């Protein structure tokens, strides 16, 4: 198992932990399948009224897809098989509130999870970045998800700068990506405080409010996501050329 799942029936809060710290909590096919399964399972569990998702260890919340994963792609540039497309709660039709507790790095495919959480609590040491362009890949789904949560110029900068720049937790808080900063090591505890409050309210009212909040941006996001497969298919370098770019270090300065 690549996930740890803890459910507190008294508080109504479940904690889902990506448990691959040796891989910086990168998502392989097994983890992707487990995430899809747990979100779908929570739809039928009345004892779970709010969820916190986090990553094991201090170094990373999640660093996206495990680079060891090989997913054969159709030859058409107008379609792709994306192994992360159903790892988020909304993609699995779960409308119970989900809070992300971010420790360490959150990059690339982590934005599928952050983009479908209600809000984000981050450790002061957390950083956010998107490595796609550095390695000859189009940031499509990731940029689209973040464009719903960040000012246009900020998401464009993060998406285009690749590994050359990391967004600090402080800056992420200032621009509204992060709703609360926690002391080092305190993101999960802080997220649990909010989750327990929300879980104490009538579930139907909470879930209806979640749906209402997401309805405000759903049409624009759906239209944008529909374009993602062909943008990726047309813009990504072939896999062997991408591999040749990995390991080349960028300046790595941080945006404060």
Backbone angles phi, psi at 240, to 5 degrees: -70, -35
Write the CA distances from 116 to 71, 147, 218, integer angstroms: 23, 12, 11
Query: What is the full per-residue pLDDT of the chain (256 aa) written as tens digits?
Result: 799 999 999 999 999 999 999 999 999 999 999 999 999 999 999 999 999 999 999 999 999 999 888 878 788 777 788 999 999 999 999 999 999 999 999 999 999 999 999 999 999 999 999 999 999 999 999 999 999 999 999 999 999 999 999 999 999 999 999 999 999 999 999 999 999 999 999 999 999 999 999 999 999 999 999 999 889 888 988 877 877 777 666 656 666 6
- What pLDDT was estimated at residue 63? 97
Q: Map tokens 């039928």 to a residue.
A: 44
Q: Specify the pairing of strand 3-8 against strand 13-18.
A: antiparallel
- What pLDDT was estimated at residue 193? 98
Q: Is the pTM of this model over 0.85?
A: yes
- What pLDDT was estimated at residue 250? 61
- What pLDDT was estimated at residue 105? 97
Q: Specify the pairing of strand 119-123 against strand 105-107.
A: unpaired
What tokens were used for 217? 């941006």
- What pLDDT was estimated at residue 252? 62
Q: CA-CA-CA-CA torsion for 190, 195, 196, 201, nearest 10 degrees? A: 150
């Amino acid at each position: 198992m690549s996930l740890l799942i803890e459910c507190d029936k008294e508080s109504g809060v479940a904690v889902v932990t990506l448990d691959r710290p040796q891989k910086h909590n990168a998502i392989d096919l097994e983890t992707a399948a487990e995430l899809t399964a747990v979100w779908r399972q929570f739809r039928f569990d009345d004892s779970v009224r709010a969820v916190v998702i986090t990553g094991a260890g201090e170094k990373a919340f999640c660093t996206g897809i495990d680079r060891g994963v090989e997913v054969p792609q159709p030859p058409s540039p107008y379609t792709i098989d994306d192994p992360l497309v159903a790892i988020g709660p909304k993609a699995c039709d779960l409308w119970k509130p989900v809070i992300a507790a971010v420790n360490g790095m959150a990059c690339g495919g982590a934005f599928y999870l952050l983009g479908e959480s209600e809000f984000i609590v981050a450790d002061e040491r957390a950083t956010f970045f998107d490595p796609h362009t550095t390695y000859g890949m189009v940031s499509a789904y990731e940029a689209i998800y973040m464009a719903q949560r960040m000012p246009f110029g900020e998401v464009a900068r993060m998406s285009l700068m690749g590994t050359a720049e990391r967004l600090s937790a402080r800056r992420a808080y200032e621009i509204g990506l992060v709703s609360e900063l926690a002391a080092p090591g305190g993101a999960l505890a802080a997220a649990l405080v909010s989750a327990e409050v929300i879980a104490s309210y009538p579930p139907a009212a909470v879930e209806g409010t979640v749906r209402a909040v997401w309805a405000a941006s759903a049409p624009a996001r759906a239209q944008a996501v529909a374009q993602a497969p062909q943008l990726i298919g047309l813009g990504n370098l072939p896999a062997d050329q991408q591999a040749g770019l990995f390991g080349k270090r960028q300046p790595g300065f941080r945006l404060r």
